[in-house]
Structure 1
């Protein structure tokens, strides 16, 4: 999993900037493209179209816009399964308590009043992206961390719970893959792949493996099991493959984890 972290450090996150003011749009996009892959839109409807066609990791949006304002765009993002994981920063000249409440109700992750400093905006962007990355890495590298730890909305939490429960219900299918999983989830393969990748930075194959391995870790914590038994319970064809995958994700062998779990109980 170290390679995932390294890849993310070197890849420029996709940022969507939404504002109907050309000067602000040009100013922000020109400055932010030094650190991010920047996309722009002049209203909420165009922004929503961009979100459906590009890999966006964060949205910075003005509130007062024609056709679909920032509050409406934010709410639409948070209620759309494929997009609900994307953090949204709202920029507004409204500094009233009511405006802040409206932003929170829409699901905004941060709310910045105009005029604002670029340093403040960058700090918010970097904080939101960094916190999400830490949670994703913790989930991928820790045997007992639940997948819901990477959910930031109720929509995401419901999707992830359904995803894991579906995999657990089919652990005996040793050849379970993204094609089969997409059928079980009643989603197209591209949609399922993109949603999982966007939330976790992992592939469906990784999520299937991690669900199997975390099931084994849970069994280890709940009682005495041999490695061969754990491999079978987790849906692996061979104990060797189980050992290799366990080490690949958690950087320890199942036997080492069993010893640690045993030591914690005494």
Structure 2
């Protein structure tokens, strides 16, 4: 099983070495000594969390965090800022620009470990909850306004083309007016799903909503949501939600009595 990729940024080599020693058992680590190198690394690697010092020459940690959180490609990545500035004003500034956590130096390695684990676990739980719960909306996975807007737009694009059995990442990238690699990377970064998997889950969630309404037969719902056969739909529904469409429809009917 692959460990989460964490990017460590600090202009002090000793601190980078210290952080690496503390974190290397649990995470795949990448390091940078300045913000410019860090941004270059983000282009090359699929980073899941960033730990950055604030006080750095050139672009400091605040500006780096602001850049990441306003960049469509990276705004979903959680950022932890480390700083020797322990004033309330600097803490407020860090949180206002979108930092997900703010840790004052000197800090306890255990504290940092817990913050990293909590941020990654919370995101993982939200992704699992979305994928396993038939009626939970895709935007439940968003951690920023830009990500929420992206997920809502993506959701609408899939819904409008739901009955197209050929809908795939190529079609979706054209509809979203995005390059295929950018769309793939963004979907994967937020949801840990491939575009194909997300399209399939969105189909199944739409089907769950139609089953809950109780107005259509299962073969009709399969066709309306883009499945090539009722059998294919039934197998996919069972695999995703742990019950057959018939069982789900019955449960929903009983709830509404």
Give the TM-score, by structure 2 length. Answer: 0.97
State the Cα distance separating 1:197 from its structure 2 match. Answer: 0.8
Q: Distance in 1 between matches of 2:179 and 2:234?
A: 32
What do the CA deviations read for 1:185-238 (whole angstroms, capped 9, x no partner)? Answer: 111111111111111011100111111111111122233321111112212221
Other-structure match for 1:7? none
Please tell me whether residue 175 in structure 1 is matched to residue 166 in structure 2. Answer: yes
Alignment map for 1:207-226 (pairs within 5 Å): 207-226=198-217
Runs of 4+ more than 4 Å apart: none
Which of the numbers 238, 247, 250 marks the counterpart of 2:238?
Answer: 247
Other-structure match for 2:39? 48
Which of the numbers 103, 124, 129 marks the counterpart of 1:133?
Answer: 124
What do the CA deviations read for 1:140-161 (whole angstroms, capped 9, x no partner)? Answer: 1110111111110111111111
What do the CA deviations read for 1:83-122 (whole angstroms, capped 9, x no partner)? Answer: 1110000000111111011101110000000000000000
SS at match of 2:8: strand
Which of the numbers 29, 33, 40 marks the counterpart of 1:38?
Answer: 29
Other-structure match for 1:5? none
- In terms of mean alpha carbon deviation, does 252-261 or 181-190 score higher? 181-190
SS at match of 2:51: strand
Please tell me whether residue 73 in structure 1 is matched to residue 71 in structure 2. Answer: no
State the Cα distance separating 1:67 from its structure 2 match. Answer: 1.5
What do the CA deviations read for 1:54-82 (whole angstroms, capped 9, x no partner)? Answer: 01100000001112111111111111111
Q: Distance in 2 between matches of 1:66 and 1:221?
A: 57
What do the CA deviations read for 1:221-263 (whole angstroms, capped 9, x no partner)? Answer: 2333211111122122211111111112111110111011111
Q: Distance in 2 between matches of 1:223 and 1:101?
A: 50
Q: Distance in 2 between matches of 1:241 and 1:181?
A: 22
Alignment map for 1:129-168 (pairs within 5 Å): 129-168=120-159
Q: Distance in 2 between matches of 1:183 and 1:67?
A: 38
Q: Distance in 2 between matches of 1:80 and 1:99?
A: 22
Aligned length: 257
Q: Which runs of 5+ in 2 are unaligned?
A: none
- CA RMSD, Structure 1 to Structure 2 (Å): 1.0
Other-structure match for 2:113? 122
SS at match of 1:91: strand
Please tell me whether residue 233 in structure 1 is matched to residue 224 in structure 2. Answer: yes
Q: Which runs of 5+ in 1 are unaligned?
A: 1-9
Give the TM-score, by structure 1 length. Answer: 0.94
Q: Distance in 2 between matches of 1:40 and 1:206?
A: 31
Please tell me whether residue 193 in structure 1 is matched to residue 184 in structure 2. Answer: yes
State the Cα distance separating 1:30 from its structure 2 match. Answer: 2.4
Q: Distance in 1 between matches of 2:35 and 2:140?
A: 29
Other-structure match for 1:97? 88
